[in-house]
């Protein structure tokens, strides 16, 4: 590409970068609306300001570079001395290709910051919903206690049968929201928890997961473990982090000393259940140090990336459950593949993530795979 073409590419990327920064600002405004006055000030000083300052610093640097490029342009009316002087700055024009690359990298960073802010918005809304649900349940419990006291006083009996609060939470896991961007090849996969079920069960390991893909490759991943208040972030080529601290997978190479994470899924077909328990029995019999399950694919993958467990496998989850987490594992130094040892295919609804290939391949030998319907399969025809 010519210098002029490279400069044009930089201009286009800068415009996209500005838009991403504006979107980040707007997303943070939504965060602020959900915080108390004290939280707003701390959030702005500790979270937002350092990030927006870095983005603005880079933008100012690019704008300065663009001005230098304009000033270095040689016009026909320039004197020989000016031509000589301006030729010295031609190196900045030749550097436009690398500048275009750096702007693209910063654009991904800005989008990652926006995704993190949106994840915080969703988490805060979820937190407020939980608080409202808790207040309603507390009021209902107080009413039940009052009714029990009145009954005891009236009937003058020593023992009362306690009434159970009739809680009928949704049986859906709330993780089936699928959001696409308006145009290909960019796509965003979002997974959110279902508040009522989580509140009633009081299960601590629930997460919001956002994966941003370009040409079917995950470029940015954000997983927010809501009740733990842990924000996991990853950008392709930029590493993986938890609350700003870098992540690294476990260095364990002995499968017998490894902890393996998995889930039973939601498919209750007898043949599928048999395969699930066959895989579990085979892995336990290797033996391994232990088998655990955090309840959600996003958290399980975050545990692999954090070095808390050596591997995680599952069949039947969806692409929006694993897109972000798979990038966390890769950027933390791990590997992601299919449960049969082949290349990872996030649309296949099958995944094996591990700290290293040695542990992964030992698990591949023990897993009894089955093939769920693909996430990109066409809808079934109606009769």
pLDDT digits (tens, 9 = 90+) for 281-315: 999 999 999 999 998 999 999 999 999 999 999 99
Q: For residues 177 and 190, what is the distance between their CA atoms, to the nearest angstrom?
A: 6
- Per residue in 238-258, pLDDT tens? 999 999 999 999 999 999 999
User: Between residues 188 and 11, which one has the greater pLDDT?
Assistant: 11
Lowest mean pLDDT, pick from 74-78, 111-115, 255-259, 294-298:
74-78
Structural tokens at position 8:
């044009």
Q: For residues 167 and 60, what is the distance between their CA atoms, to the nearest angstrom?
A: 56
Q: Is 173 annotated as a binding residue?
A: no
CA angle 243, 245, 247 (to 5 degrees): 110
Average pLDDT for 26-42: 84
CA angle 225, 171, 374 (to 5 degrees): 75
With a cut of 60, say whether residue 318 has pLDDT above it.
Answer: yes
Closest to 202 (Cα-Cα) out of 193, 211, 191: 193
Enumerate long-range contacts of 246-250, CB under 8 Å, 24 or more apart.
247/305, 247/306, 247/307, 247/328, 247/331, 247/332, 248/307, 248/332, 248/333, 249/304, 249/305, 249/307, 249/329, 249/332, 249/333, 249/334, 249/355, 249/356, 250/307, 250/308, 250/309, 250/310, 250/355
Closest to 298 (Cα-Cα) out of 215, 363, 377, 234: 234
Q: Are 211 and 320 in contact (CB under 8 A)?
A: yes
Lateral strand order in the sheet of 259-262: 290-292, 259-262, 311-315, 350-354, 335-337
Instruction: Tell the CATH topology of 174-375.
Output: D-Maltodextrin-Binding Protein; domain 2 (3.40.190)
Q: For residues 108 and 101, what is the distance between their CA atoms, to the nearest angstrom?
A: 11
pLDDT computed for residue 189 by the predictor: 72
In the structure, what pLDDT confidence band is assigned to residue 157 with cuts at 50, 70 and 90? very low
Q: For residues 107 and 14, what is the distance between their CA atoms, to the nearest angstrom?
A: 8
Antiparallel, parallel or unpaired: β 217-225 and 230-235: antiparallel
* CATH 3.40.190.80 residue spans of the chain: 174-375
């Amino acid at each position: 590409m010519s210098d002029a073409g490279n400069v044009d590419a930089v201009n286009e990327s800068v415009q996209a970068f500005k838009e991403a920064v504006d979107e980040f600002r707007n997303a943070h405004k939504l965060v602020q609306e959900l915080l108390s006055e004290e939280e707003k000030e701390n959030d702005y000083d500790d979270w937002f300001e350092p990030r927006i300052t870095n983005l603005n610093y880079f933008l100012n640097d690019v704008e300065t570079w663009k001005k230098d490029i304009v000033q270095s342009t040689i016009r026909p009316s320039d004197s020989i001395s000016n031509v000589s002087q301006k030729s010295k700055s031609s190196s900045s024009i030749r550097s436009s290709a690398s500048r275009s690359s750096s702007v693209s990298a910063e654009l991904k960073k800005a989008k990652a910051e926006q995704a993190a802010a949106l994840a915080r918005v969703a988490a805060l809304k979820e937190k407020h919903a939980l608080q409202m649900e808790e207040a309603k349940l507390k009021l209902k419990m107080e009413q039940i206690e009052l009714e029990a006291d009145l009954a005891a006083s009236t009937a003058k009996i020593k023992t009362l049968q306690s009434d159970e609060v009739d809680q009928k939470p949704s049986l859906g896991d709330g993780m089936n929201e699928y959001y696409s961007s308006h145009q290909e090849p960019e796509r965003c996969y979002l997974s959110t928890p279902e508040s009522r079920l989580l509140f009633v069960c009081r299960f601590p390991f629930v997460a919001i997961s956002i994966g941003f893909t370009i040409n079917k490759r995950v470029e940015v991943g954000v997983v927010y473990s809501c009740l733990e208040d842990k924000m996991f972030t990853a950008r392709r080529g930029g590493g993986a982090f938890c609350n700003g601290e870098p992540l690294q997978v476990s260095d364990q190479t002995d499968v017998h000393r490894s902890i393996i994470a998995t889930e039973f899924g939601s498919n209750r077909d007898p043949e599928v259940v048999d395969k699930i328990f066959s895989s579990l029995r085979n892995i336990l019999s290797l033996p391994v140090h232990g088998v655990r399950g955090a309840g959600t694919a996003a958290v399980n993958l975050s545990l692999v990336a954090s070095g808390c467990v050596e591997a995680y496998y599952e069949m039947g989850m969806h692409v929006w459950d694993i897109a972000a987490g798979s990038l966390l594992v890769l950027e933390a130094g791990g590997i992601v593949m299919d449960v049969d040892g082949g290349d990872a295919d996030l649309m296949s609804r099958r995944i094996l993530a591990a700290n290293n290939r040695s542990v992964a391949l030992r698990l591949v030998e023990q897993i009894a795979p089955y093939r769920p319907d693909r996430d990109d399969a066409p809808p079934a025809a109606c009769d």
